[in-house]
């Protein structure tokens, strides 16, 4: 890499040249209100030497950025990683690297890494960058186990197939057959508790698996069981178990850029972290995320009645400040494509713009009890909320593009939703759990609703719920949207 003189050192020399005036050995140091101060050359040299000594002692000149390369197929962790010809191979090696502010980690296009990527932090103006190199599809990061071989399965009972692997220590949130052509439908096995009743069905063990591709987790034995007429690996050429772990975990991270990565097939979250500053997500794809069981919901008498599942595409939790998500594509997410949420923590200066979102239960979700300000959601194209793989499996189907829960709105200000496209949702376009009009500015969005469905689910301060039709919500709520006559066409549920 070509060496560049430090900007501050170059500017200092320019300053001397500009201000040095060889007028009888004198130097004009400053000029203000026609006041000129001149000193002789000897004094100037002394001052210059003192200033140079102070600078040398107290200023750490920025080092040149370094590049590190990672190739999942041809890399070697014993290499130095400093060129395309000597790349590392694994995430473990990346995590072991002593990365400095300004460094870049480049993953080879077409590569695939399984596990959790945990980024290192940079410094203001000098982020650590995780990006790609080469030609081909964006590098993939997954929390998934491939069970595509016939020997990965055995018939546990007539028509019930179990994974041979006994090392599954977490729930499987989803099963993708042939890259998502079909998905498994989770049923629930609770070996030590009374079987829960959910929607008038009593599910327990293998008796719960009644339809083709129903499946259940048996975490105590490290197995997954699937209802299938034949060995699943003989019916499908690709089978991925989406494990209940986050793919990119960035707790306490700051000054990091993710550019051109594909985060896909994980049972928990795609990108997720708490207490963060100055993160940028650019040109990334996030797909097939979520579905793992978080907790079991209880009746008042303590009996269990339903599992609560979760999984977001990009999630900022608790304190967060100065984040940008732009030019990303996000699809097939169990919960929210993008969300900032938390308990009594502050969230500021978040920008979501120019993203393409489809087939997620929520395009955007917000809930937070802290001080929230300067949130901008703009120029995004959001289609088919609630039309993804998860909707029919949810205990609470709730397809909407903009989901705001009933949290403390008096601590929220400058929340802007503008110039987006919101097209088609299974329930409603906007859902507000409280009167958000003092905090929100909603204008310039193009909205299309499926005929007969409301545009807005609105909760008044007294708790009364009102459903507003597309032709009445602008006038009733003071919004300034354009209601479209025809749906926006994006991918309409098709993976790009």
In the structure encoding, which two tokens stand for residue 348, read together? 């500021």
CA-nearest of 115, 116, 58, 106 to 85 is 106
Q: How many domains does the chain have?
A: 3
What's the rounded Cα separation, in Å, for the pair 364 and 402? 5
What's the rounded Cα separation, in Å, for the pair 54 and 8? 14
Q: Residues 168, 130: one domain? A: no
Q: Residues 406, 275: one domain? A: yes
Across 176-185, 298-307, 309-318, 401-410, least confident range: 298-307
Q: Residues 271, 404: one domain? A: yes
In the prediction, which pLDDT does 409 show? 61
Q: pLDDT band for position 19 (50/70/90)?
A: very low
Q: Residues 155, 41: one domain? A: no
pLDDT tens column, 107-154: 999 999 999 999 999 999 999 999 999 999 999 999 999 999 999 999
The torsion angles phi and psi of 231, rounded to 5 degrees, stand at -55, 120
Q: What's the mean per-residue pLDDT of the chain?
A: 84
What's the rounded Cα separation, in Å, for the pair 478 and 465? 17
Tell me: pLDDT of 30 over 50.
Answer: no
Residue 51, domain member (yes or no): yes
Contacts of 83 (CB under 8 A, 6+ apart): 69
Tell me: pLDDT of 60 over 50.
Answer: no
Q: Residues 392, 280: one domain? A: yes
- Sign, CA dihedral 44-46-47-51, equals positive
Residue 492, domain member (yes or no): no
Residue 2, domain member (yes or no): no
Q: Residues 237, 378: one domain? A: no
Q: Residues 295, 444: one domain? A: yes
Q: Which of 242, 263, 286 is the last residue of a domain?
A: 242
Go through the chain and tell me how many residues it has.
Answer: 496
Tell me: pLDDT of 399 over 90.
Answer: yes
In the prediction, which pLDDT does 490 show? 52
Range of the domain at 188: 144-242
In the structure encoding, which two tokens stand for residue 379, read together? 């120029």
CA-nearest of 279, 289, 275, 285 to 245 is 289
What's the rounded Cα separation, in Å, for the pair 308 and 296? 6
Q: Residues 356, 324: one domain? A: yes
Q: Which of 242, 258, 276 is the last residue of a domain?
A: 242
pLDDT tens column, 256-297: 999 999 999 999 999 999 999 999 999 999 999 999 988 777
- Percent of the residues in the chain that have a pLDDT greater than 70, as a whole number: 80
In the structure encoding, which two tokens stand for residue 395, read together? 């205990």
Mean pLDDT, to the nearest integer, of 53-74?
67
pLDDT tens column, 158-213: 999 999 876 788 889 999 999 999 999 998 755 444 444 333 333 445 667 899 99
Helices of type H across 114-248: 232-235
Q: Residues 220, 288: one domain? A: no
Q: Which of 183, 214, 242 is the last residue of a domain?
A: 242
CA-based radius of gyration for the chain: 28
Across 203-207, 214-218, 320-324, 470-474, least confident range: 203-207
What's the rounded Cα separation, in Å, for the pair 143 and 406? 33
Q: Residues 457, 378: one domain? A: yes
C-beta of residue 424 within 8 angstroms of C-beta of residue 383: yes
In the prediction, which pLDDT does 487 show? 87
- Rounded to whole angstroms, what are the CA distances from 391 to 78, 88, 266, 298? 46, 40, 17, 22
In the prediction, which pLDDT does 491 show? 45
C-beta of residue 398 within 8 angstroms of C-beta of residue 361: yes
Residue 464, domain member (yes or no): yes
C-beta of residue 216 within 8 angstroms of C-beta of residue 225: yes
Residue 494, domain member (yes or no): no
In the prediction, which pLDDT does 368 show? 87
Residue that has been written with the tokens 């201000």 in this structure: 19
Q: Residues 232, 265: one domain? A: no
Residue 322, domain member (yes or no): yes
- Rounded to whole angstroms, what are the CA distances from 144 to 36, 199, 264? 72, 30, 9
What's the rounded Cα separation, in Å, for the pair 71 and 85? 10
In the prediction, which pLDDT does 410 show? 64
- Percent of the residues in the chain that have a pLDDT greater than 90, as a whole number: 64
User: For the whole model, what pTM was predicted?
Assistant: 0.83
Q: Residues 207, 226: one domain? A: yes
C-beta of residue 358 within 8 angstroms of C-beta of residue 384: yes
């Amino acid at each position: 890499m070509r060496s560049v003189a430090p900007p501050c050192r170059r500017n200092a020399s320019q300053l001397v040249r500009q201000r040095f005036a060889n007028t009888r050995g004198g130097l004009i140091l400053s000029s203000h209100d026609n006041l000129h101060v001149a000193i002789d050359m000897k004094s100037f040299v002394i001052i210059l030497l003192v200033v140079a000594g102070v600078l040398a002692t107290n200023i750490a000149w920025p080092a040149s950025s370094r590049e590190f390369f990672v190739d999942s197929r041809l890399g070697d962790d014993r290499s130095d990683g400093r060129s395309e010809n000597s790349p590392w191979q694994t995430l473990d090696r990346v995590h072991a690297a002593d990365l400095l502010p300004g460094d870049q980690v480049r993953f080879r296009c077409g590569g695939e890494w399984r596990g959790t990527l945990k980024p290192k932090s940079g410094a203001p103006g000098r982020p650590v960058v995780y990006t790609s190199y080469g030609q081909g599809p964006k590098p993939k990061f997954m929390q998934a186990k491939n069970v595509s071989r016939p020997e990965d399965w055995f018939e546990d009972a007539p028509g019930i197939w179990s994974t041979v692997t006994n090392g599954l220590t977490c729930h499987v949130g989803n099963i993708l057959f042939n890259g998502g052509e079909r998905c498994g439908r989770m049923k629930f096995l609770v070996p030590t508790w009374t079987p829960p009743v959910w929607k008038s069905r009593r599910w327990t063990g293998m008796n719960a698996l009644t339809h083709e591709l129903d499946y259940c987790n048996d975490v105590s034995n490290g197995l997954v069981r699937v209802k299938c007429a034949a060995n699943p690996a003989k019916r499908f050429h690709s089978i991925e178990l989406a494990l209940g772990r986050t793919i990119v975990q960035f707790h306490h991270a700051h000054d990091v850029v993710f550019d051109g990565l594909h985060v896909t097939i994980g049972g928990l979250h795609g990108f997720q972290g708490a207490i963060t500053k100055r993160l940028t997500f650019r040109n990334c794809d996030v797909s097939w995320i979520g579905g793992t069981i978080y907790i079991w919901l209880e009746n008042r008498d303590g009996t269990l009645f339903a599992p609560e599942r979760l999984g977001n595409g990009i999630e900022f939790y608790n304190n967060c400040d100065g984040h940008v998500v732009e030019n990303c594509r996000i699809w097939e997410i169990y919960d929210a494509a993008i969300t900032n949420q938390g308990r009594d923590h502050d969230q500021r200066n978040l920008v979501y713009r120019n993203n393409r979102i489809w087939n997620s239960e929520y395009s955007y979700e917000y809930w937070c009890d802290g001080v929230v300000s300067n949130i901008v959601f703009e120029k995004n194209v959001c289609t088919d909320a609630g039309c993804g793989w998860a909707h029919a499996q949810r205990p609470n189907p709730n397809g909407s593009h903009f989901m705001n829960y009933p949290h403390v709105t008096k601590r929220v200000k400058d929340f802007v939703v503008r110039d987006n496209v919101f097209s088609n949702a299974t329930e409603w376009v906007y859902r507000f759990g409280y009167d958000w009009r003092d905090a929100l500015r909603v204008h310039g969005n193009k909205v299309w609703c499926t005929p007969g469905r409301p545009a807005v689910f609105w909760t008044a301060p007294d708790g009364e719920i009102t459903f507003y039709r597309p032709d009445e919500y602008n006038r009733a709520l003071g919004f300034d949207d354009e209601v479209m006559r025809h749906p926006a066409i994006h991918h309409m549920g098709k993976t790009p």
